[in-house]
Amino acid sequence: MQRIAFLTGLASLGLIWSLAARNSLPAILPGPLAVAAALWTLLTEPSFWTDTLLPSLGRAAAGLASAFALGAPLGLAGWRWPVISALAAPLRLILMGMPAPILAILFILWFDGGPLTVILTVAVLLLPVFQIAVAEGTGNIDSHLAEMARVFRVPLMRQLHRIALPAVWTALGPALRIAVANALRVTLLTELLSGAEGLGAAVQRAQSWLQTDRLFALVILILALIGLADTGLGLLLRERPRP
């Protein structure tokens, strides 16, 4: 039933879009067929994959991995030693309150505005997400269950798999779902501001050259990537480890 409702809503949006495009110039609002043709052209261009899409996805993945590599140990240390969490709290509050465009502009000024700038922006903005998620997830570990496991000398790997991982995953799973979508958004934003070759630069060129059908196609592609990532992680969350 929910799937039917979703498809009905999607079809309704397509119909409204098609009707609105009939009364507008193609440079202002292209129709669905024109956008579909532009999307097909994009996907069949080898240079789009090698020079635009894959570099952007690589930067988003690198920034996401860097944020996890730094944020997870920091969250674990903050849970184990609260003074570390207190020391990191001011920086965490600054990063959580910092608008992404401002941080991206600062990094563009401080660095060269290339791929490294994109990766750093993604990593720094997402670091607090993983720090908080790991700290909260670790705090969810049942201390009595963990103590029983130690008393009965349950192997360490079994403790991690049956006790620690399910508790941490309750907070880390949803955080990862949010972080993946934000990694793609921040990558696009930073590329758009810095001019680094990728999806952001492609959006900027389409806007500058009034290729509105190509611009819409890029937006649909980006939304599809975020939707696929969110759906995949949602399925993974349903199969999350259980004690």
Residue type, 117: T
pLDDT at 146: 60
Nearest-angstrom CA–CA distance, 232 and 226:
10
Q: Do 99 and 18 lie in a common domain?
A: no
List, for residues 189-217, the tens digit of each pLDDT value. Answer: 999 988 888 898 899 888 888 889 999 99
Q: Do 46 and 155 lie in a common domain?
A: yes
Minimal CA–CA distance to 104: which of 113, 93, 91?
113
Q: Are 216 and 35 in contact (CB under 8 A)?
A: yes
Q: Do 155 and 83 lie in a common domain?
A: yes
Inside any domain, residue 133: yes
pTM above 0.85, yes or no: no
CA angle 185, 26, 33 (to 5 degrees): 75
Inside any domain, residue 214: yes
Q: Do 173 and 139 lie in a common domain?
A: yes
pLDDT at 236: 73
Inside any domain, residue 170: yes
Inside any domain, residue 18: yes
8-state DSSP, 153? T
Q: Which residues of the chain have pLDDT under 70?
A: 140-164, 238-243
Inside any domain, residue 243: no
Residue 135 belongs to what domain range?
31-238
Q: Do 45 and 8 lie in a common domain?
A: no
Number of independent structural domains in the chain: 2
Nearest-angstrom CA–CA distance, 201 and 194:
8
Minimal CA–CA distance to 30: which of 223, 217, 225, 224?
217
Minimal CA–CA distance to 21: which of 13, 29, 12?
29
Query: Looking at residue 133, which CATH number applies to its domain?
Result: 1.10.3720.10
Q: Do 124 and 227 lie in a common domain?
A: yes
DSSP tally for the chain: helices H, then strands E: 12, 0
Q: Do 92 and 210 lie in a common domain?
A: yes
List, for residues 95-105, the tens digit of each pLDDT value. Answer: 888 888 999 99
